[in-house]
Chains A and B, each alone.
Chain A
Amino acid sequence: MNPHAKLVFTMSLVMGTSITISSNHWILAWTGLEINTLAIIPLISKSHHPRAIEATIKYFLTQSAASALILFSSLTNAWFTGQWDITQLNHPTSCLVLTTAIAIKLGLVPFHFWFPEVLQGSSMITALLLSTLMKLPPITLLLITSQSLDPSMLTFLAISSALIGGWMGLNQTQTRKILAFSSISHLGWMIVVITYNPNLTFLTFTLYVVMTTTVFLSLNQIKVLKLSTMLISWTKTPTLNASMMLTLLSLAGLPPLTGFMPKWLIIQELTKQEMTPTATIITLLSLLGLFFYLRLAYHSTITLPPNSSNHMKLWRINKTPNTPTAILSALSTSLLPLSPLIITMF
């Protein structure tokens, strides 16, 4: 793509996100969301492949409908309460419509059907943007309005997201779809605690962004788009595959790694709020995700080749410096001992 065009679209993404997360008026929040949608459409469809165009259409229809619903919910709230403040969204119909609209925007179950297909149709870096940056404005709106939203509906969305994200990820062989379902189940964990302690939601989101960015960048480095490619990828970058195993286990939430921190804190908060059955159910459902993360980790470190090869490591490799992946993979595996410090930061 033309570098000037790419710069304009990327800056528009950053600007749209900044507008939404820093706004106090619903119209400005809606404006930021619209700018984000408009800016990422050409980024998804830039390869002009039929799959990319299909992903663009699906993304565009769902996100535009969700933006219109957000505007409608703020309009009905303005009729009944006379003001457009984001923190003062009090009318029950508005809260219900807003929750539905943000669930569509984020890809929560039962509005998740667009998400794996859109990620599958876009390139790895665009898929990374769709999973991390495009989720920030809707999560921010949910955080700001969290005190007036319905807790039982949010818990239903969260548990079903964890269920569907774990269960449907089991049958996937394309890595982008696996990451889409992992995103859906992580969003479930974020939403389950939002009415009780919104800071934990933001902490979970930040750690999720760090870990999933590491995985996306690592997969982009070794150009792995499906599991069968991952089986033979260790010869390209043995160290990256080893660290990717740790990052994937961190995404799964295994204890000495960073990914355990949000799950632990969320379970603690839910038990403090007398929501023990919810905590048990969502923990058990994250075991489904553990299975496909383990499968990915196994595939990334397997060294028995499918065909006999004479040498252990590819000798013609391109050594591109890979600073972001290095920093992020260090963060995504070793932040657990710093949890007291990190809790105070949110």
Chain B
Amino acid sequence: MSPLHFSFYSAFTFSCLGLAFHRTHLISALLCLESMMLSMFIPLSMWPIENQTPSFTLVPILMLAFSACEAGAGLATLVASTRTHGSDHLHNLNLLQC
């Protein structure tokens, strides 16, 4: 595996691990989600350059648009959780156990 591919893999894997091992705040989970998307944006942007297919240039923009929408939806749920639960602490989300 080339060093470039290894760096993309490890960027995505660390973001994924950051999302899996988040501790207190919802905002840190959302940040890890965004960094997962960013770590996929860079290789997607390199694809049309490496493979000389200009028609693929739309794809990183499309991906970025959808991940921005998703980030907006995540922030909306953050605001909603602050309104109902008082904070964005994830260990407060225990109403649905029963």
Contacts and interface: CB of A to CB of B under 8 A. Distances in A.
Say whether A and B bind each other: yes
Interface of A: 27, 30-31, 34-35, 37-38, 41, 45, 48-51, 53-58, 60-61, 64-65, 68-69, 71-72, 75-76, 78-79, 82, 117-118, 120-121, 174
Given A54-B95, A57-B93, A61-B29, A27 B74 contact: no
A64 B40 CA distance: 14
A47 to B, nearest CB: 11
13 contacts: A37-B73, A41-B76, A45-B77, A53-B80, A54-B81, A54-B93, A54-B96, A56-B77, A57-B26, A57-B81, A68-B16, A68-B33, A79-B43
Given A50-B95, A61-B33, A75 B40 contact: yes
Interface in B58-98: 59, 62-63, 66, 69-70, 73-74, 76-77, 80-81, 83-85, 93, 95-98
- The winner among A41, A57, A75 for most chain B CB atoms within 10 A is A57
A61 B63 CA distance: 18
A162 to B, nearest CB: 24
Nearest to A93: B9
Nearest to A44: B77
Contacts, number: 90
B47 A78 contact: yes
A120 B97 CA distance: 9
Interface in B23-78: 26, 29, 33, 36-37, 40, 43-44, 47, 51, 59, 62-63, 66, 69-70, 73-74, 76-77
A51 B95 contact: yes
Contact of A72 (B12, B93, B98): B12
A294 to B, nearest CB: 23
A128 B47 CA distance: 40
A72 B40 contact: yes
Nearest to A79: B5
- The winner among A54, A58, A174 for most chain B CB atoms within 10 A is A54
- The winner among B26, B33, B95 for most chain A CB atoms within 10 A is B95
A117 B84 CA distance: 17
A71 B80 contact: no
Contacts of B36: 65, 68, 72
A76 B43 CA distance: 10
Given A34-B69, A48-B80, A60-B74, A65 B19 contact: yes
- The winner among A37, A64, A72 for most chain B CB atoms within 10 A is A64
Q: List 4 tightest A-B contacts by C-beta distance, closest first.
A: A50-B84, A117-B96, A68-B36, A54-B93
Contacts of B16: 65, 68-69
Given A38-B70, A69-B16, A121 B96 contact: yes
Contact of B73 (A27, A60, A117): A60
Nearest to A72: B12
- The winner among B29, B33, B70 for most chain A CB atoms within 10 A is B70
A58 B91 CA distance: 12
A117 B93 CA distance: 10
Given A48-B84, A50-B85, A78-B47, A71 B93 contact: no
B33 A71 contact: no
B40 A71 contact: yes
A135 B62 CA distance: 24
Contacts of B96: 51, 54-55, 58, 117-118, 120-121
A117 B40 CA distance: 30
A50 B23 CA distance: 21
Contacts of A118: 96
A116 to B, nearest CB: 8
